[in-house]
Amino acid sequence: MFDESLLEDPEALARADGRGLLLRVAAAGARVRTAVRLAEEAGVTALRPDGRPRTVLLAASGPDAAAVADLLVALGSQSCPVEVLPPTGPTPQQSQWTLPGWAGPLDLLLLITPQGSEQGLTDLVEQAYRRGCTAAAVTPAKAPLAEAVEQVRGMALPFAAPFGNGADPADEDPANDAGAFWALLTPLLALADRIGLFAAPTEALHGVADRLDEVAARCGPAIATYTNPAKTLAAELADALPLLWSHGRISASAARRFATVLGIRAGLPALTAELPAALTAHGPLQASASALAADPEDFFRDRVEEPENLRLRIVLLQEDADRPGPATPAAREQAYAHDTPLSEIAAATGSPLDTAAELIALADFASVYLTVASAERA
């Protein structure tokens, strides 16, 4: 059960947060700055590539890495093709990746993992070497993957461990590392800037860290629920099925990331869709839920055997608070017509990187509050 009163007691929240999720989410800005420094020490700013690659291929292991790959596709696909290689195998631990038949010397392979011990990724590096395809990886230093990349003269960018404590990431439960996303993303942003995929200079990366700090200041445990957008959203999503609607490539990626962390951290399923297609995709579900809730006092309803009616909550993610998407009025009208509660998250005006940082950070805080205040679910 969700204990909303816990949100108003910072000390009780800290006691309930045995995994330290809130602290790690709040430290996202610091994690970005550490990752920038480590990437610079690894030599990323000294790169002088001769043009951009024909295609960027992404191989990601784990949910955070997959979300990073998804965001890179959203950010970089305007400059050159950016493709995610789908993993195959009987279990996530036994995943394998295969380069497409056309991959060769003109392409760049990026490997993303907080562990670095996946044999499938090491095998992929060997595939790339045989094809003449350049490889780079974000992985813990001294991990098997880092050694494999260095052996083929690729670039291994260090994964910044939580709080810079030097802990072995292989011993870390991925579900507990609420800042892993930023430690994986930041070095790749710096690399993307160097190869001309999109603009992400060092100043912009520090701007992302500042934006994350601003979200942490607005959404921290000491901020009351009525002025805290993350606490408010967590309370609204409790015991509901979230419908995560988005406008634009960046917000769509943030919505998919939100659905992932809701499932992993809070055990809460969520559905995602992009507007305007969301109106058609989720319209029948809204109509069904509205019909079931139309007569809650039905005399013949078995209140013992029948479960509670499905409760929906639309969360609309938008990339610019000053310029709502063209389908926003229709989304609001459909929500009103079906009596579906609607929450809206909009980033302040800024660069695509700033927009992604704000939307993802707010969603991260909300998912953690929902997890910590839902003892049974957590």
Question: What pTM was estimated for this model as a whole?
Answer: 0.93
Asked if 129 and 95 sit in the same domain, the reply is: yes
In angstroms, what CA-CA distances link 265 with 25, 196, 201, 257, 320?
12, 35, 32, 12, 27
- Look at residues 211, 236, 270 and tell me which one is the last residue of a structural domain: 211
Asked if 207 and 236 sit in the same domain, the reply is: no
Sign of the Cα pseudo-torsion (289, 295, 296, 301, in order):
negative
What pLDDT, on a 0 to 100 scale, did the predictor assign at position 129?
Answer: 98
Spatial distance between the Cα atoms of 261 and 125, rounded to a whole number of angstroms = 29
Q: Which residues sit opposite 153 in a β-bridge?
A: none
Query: Does residue 256 fall inside a structural domain?
Result: yes
Where in the sequence is the domain holding 285, given as residue range(s)? 224-372
Asked if 92 and 152 sit in the same domain, the reply is: yes
Asked if 88 and 185 sit in the same domain, the reply is: yes
What pLDDT, on a 0 to 100 scale, did the predictor assign at position 300?
Answer: 56
Neighbours of 60 (CB within 10 A): 26
Asked if 273 and 230 sit in the same domain, the reply is: yes
Per-residue pLDDT at 30 exceeds 90? yes
Mean per-residue pLDDT, 12-34: 94
Asked if 35 and 176 sit in the same domain, the reply is: yes
The count of structural domains within the chain is 2
What pLDDT, on a 0 to 100 scale, did the predictor assign at position 377?
Answer: 45
> Per-residue pLDDT tens for 44-90?
999 988 889 999 999 999 999 999 999 999 999 888 999 999 999 99
- Look at residues 211, 239, 273 and tell me which one is the last residue of a structural domain: 211
> Per-residue pLDDT tens for 130-169?
999 999 999 999 999 999 999 999 999 999 998 645 555 5
Token pair 């809730």: residue: 293
Query: Does residue 32 fall inside a structural domain?
Result: yes
pLDDT averaged over every residue in the chain? 92
Q: Return the higher-pLDDT residue of 109 and 176.
A: 109
Query: Does residue 265 come out as left (phi exceeding 0), alpha (psi in the -120 to 50 range) or beta?
Result: alpha
Spatial distance between the Cα atoms of 322 and 94, rounded to a whole number of angstroms = 46
Residue 291 pLDDT level (bands cut at 50, 70, 90): confident
> Per-residue pLDDT tens for 221-257?
999 999 999 999 999 999 899 999 999 999 999 999 9
Q: Return the higher-pLDDT residue of 18 and 277.
A: 277
Per-residue pLDDT at 111 exceeds 70? yes
> Per-residue pLDDT tens for 303-324?
556 666 789 999 999 999 889 9
What pLDDT, on a 0 to 100 scale, did the predictor assign at position 164?
Answer: 47
- Look at residues 183, 211, 239 and tell me which one is the last residue of a structural domain: 211
What pLDDT, on a 0 to 100 scale, did the predictor assign at position 150?
Answer: 97
Asked if 157 and 251 sit in the same domain, the reply is: no
Q: Are 156 and 150 in contact (CB under 8 A)?
A: yes
Mean per-residue pLDDT, 187-213: 97
Mean per-residue pLDDT, 88-108: 95
